[in-house]
A and B are shown apart, each in its own frame.
Chain A
């Protein structure tokens, strides 16, 4: 048998199970809360994960909640305002997020509306194409663009190739800038690239992405399988006029934005179109 990483983990895991069988009492003694976090619920699976962001519901409060939940849970260092900043999910003004649209005449409130940006988990991602080591790759079974922080050599070619600015590089040791390290998630070291992973670690435990969960009440973010016509995202993209960032580049982003609608009374009435 060839010992690759997966087999090694499998064998080591079996050994650990045997060892764990003896002090079962200590395991049971763990606080219920922490057990619940690691408990293996049925994983969430999909053929193509996608997200819909409803910009109409993007209040300052909701946006902050999404960012904070993500950055806290993923041990993202707080280097805000420095050139070394790390961002997995962040807000830009609508005008800025869609700057290529040249939005001259939309109301200024709409221009300034906070718009959440994150990795688009493109169907045809340029970042994985340029990676010289396969440290970033597309998981074919569900379309998530993944990162292997143990393989990344820090050449930053993926950052250069990404049209969305979704990737960050650890210019310095991030651990010194994390307020409280969450032991449930790995920290990174200086010299590697990181980004949003659609919370693949949560999906594996049957939970929705942290940003979605944190803003669940508002319905600002919808997450699900776009290949499933009955999923909430499929219904959302059908029901609303959605736009994607830089669609002209052919990357096929999987994050969709519901744009604010013009009020019905302002909408011009057209006669039915007869070809």
Chain B
């Protein structure tokens, strides 16, 4: 199958070369970090998790969102998503690999990675997060491989894969729930100590993931590789629309509790996010942009004229993706540390080295998606001929 990834036009190969260059730069930057330690990042004693863990958190959501095409197809026999499920699963695989990579680069002692398994500690949520993420990666590899091989041979998939697919549905929910538990079980951090973190993570995942899938599908359509069909894209748009509405609702609930109760420790974090704290306004423009994009995309998605127009839909999907990336990939983690446990505002921003490593990991994800989609779509094109 993989040979299909080795044949492509000039455009395909230039894209691959660009990605390899980005991955190469990321690798060099990682070796520098490995040599000198995490001192090359912007992280500190007070802000001990930052950009890496935030990207991890965001991407767990992207991985989980594959369930939004799998569930309607397998539980509701929504046939329009039949040709999309494998694309959703490939996206989940790429996202899981990126998640693992972001955890790896965040480790102070990467050579001791195996201690996670040798000294497995079930009292740590991190243990369970590793279990569910690796399990989810494995499930998606097996499911996509088995179902796609069957599709290639023109036969129905073997019956044993059906229960595996059914298991993958709650499993997808679990990966983002357990990732939320990493945060929401800590009494030390009032910003995260909220029961709505897990539901909010799921709502934001189920809007940003399918939004990314819409963008990918529209891109594939534009380059003439694959047309998912008008109804499938409409289905995805509906999912993004409701998930985003629920996510905005959850954010407002969070804000209500913080603002109306006026509880100072809780409120301080939200003040930092939206207005700045002790003169530190790093997050303020980002959060207002995120809010604005969420509102604009809600309008674009709820209006059938714009939702059903590919050009507007592409914009709306991009806005959703960026809005939620800001919320989770920038705001979520750092704000938990601001103010610190001693009530201080310690500034954090990622260093160039940190950003290059992160870009390299996104490059790995993009390369995986490119290769996997190329293989799948080339085979489909051959079968169609």
A residues adjacent to B (C-beta < 8 A): 83-87, 92, 96-97, 99-100, 102, 126, 129-135, 151-157, 159-165, 168-173, 190-193, 249-251
Contacts and interface: CB of A to CB of B under 8 A. Distances in A.
B123 interface: yes
Interface string B180-208: 00100011110000000000000000000
Contacts of A87: 45
Given A96-B343, A164-B341, A190 B187 contact: no
Nearest to A163: B188
B149 to A, nearest CB: 36
Interface stretch (B110-118, B241-249, B310-318, B368-376): B110-118
B188 A191 contact: no
Contacts of A100: 265, 343
B48 A191 contact: no
Nearest to B38: A171
Contacts of B113: 153
B185 to A, nearest CB: 8
A192 B189 CA distance: 22
A133 B121 contact: yes
A151 B38 contact: no
A153 B48 contact: no
B144 to A, nearest CB: 29
A129 B123 contact: yes
A169 B48 contact: yes
Interface in B329-385: 336-337, 340-344
B303 interface: no
Chain A at the B interface: mostly helix, strand, loop or mixed? loop
B108 interface: yes
B44 interface: yes
Contacts of B108: 152-156, 169-170, 190-193
Interface stretch (B13-21, B92-100, B124-132): B124-132
Contacts of B186: 126, 130, 160-161
B38 A134 contact: no
8 closest A-B pairs by CB: A154-B108, A191-B108, A83-B44, A163-B188, A190-B37, A99-B343, A172-B39, A132-B126
A169 B38 contact: yes
A67 to B, nearest CB: 16
B151 interface: no
Given A132-B126, A155-B108, A170-B108, A160 B342 contact: no
A10 B122 CA distance: 30
A157 B39 contact: no
A197 B188 CA distance: 20
A173 B124 CA distance: 28
A165 B124 contact: no
B92 to A, nearest CB: 23
B342 A99 contact: yes
A131 B106 CA distance: 15
Interface residues of B, number: 45
Given A100-B265, A133-B119, A171-B37, A163 B341 contact: yes
B295 to A, nearest CB: 32
Contact of B342 (A96, A131, A173): A96
B275 interface: no
Contacts of B254: none
A12 B182 CA distance: 41
B252 interface: no
A151 B115 contact: yes
B105 to A, nearest CB: 11
Most chain B CB neighbours (cut-off 10 Å) among A100, A102, A155, A250: A155
A170 B112 CA distance: 15
Contacts of A173: 37
B49 to A, nearest CB: 6
Contact of A134 (B48, B107, B110, B119): B119
A84 B187 contact: no
- Interface-centre pick from A87, A154, A160, A249 (highest chain B CB count, 10 A): A160
Nearest to B130: A132
A111 B123 CA distance: 39
B122 to A, nearest CB: 10
B189 A160 contact: yes
A151 B119 contact: yes
Contacts of A250: 187
A131 B127 CA distance: 9
B124 A131 contact: yes
Contacts of B119: 132-135, 151
Given A100-B265, A152-B109, A163-B188, A171 B43 contact: yes
Given A83-B44, A96-B342, A129-B123, A153 B37 contact: no
B155 interface: no
Interface in B124-166: 124-127, 130
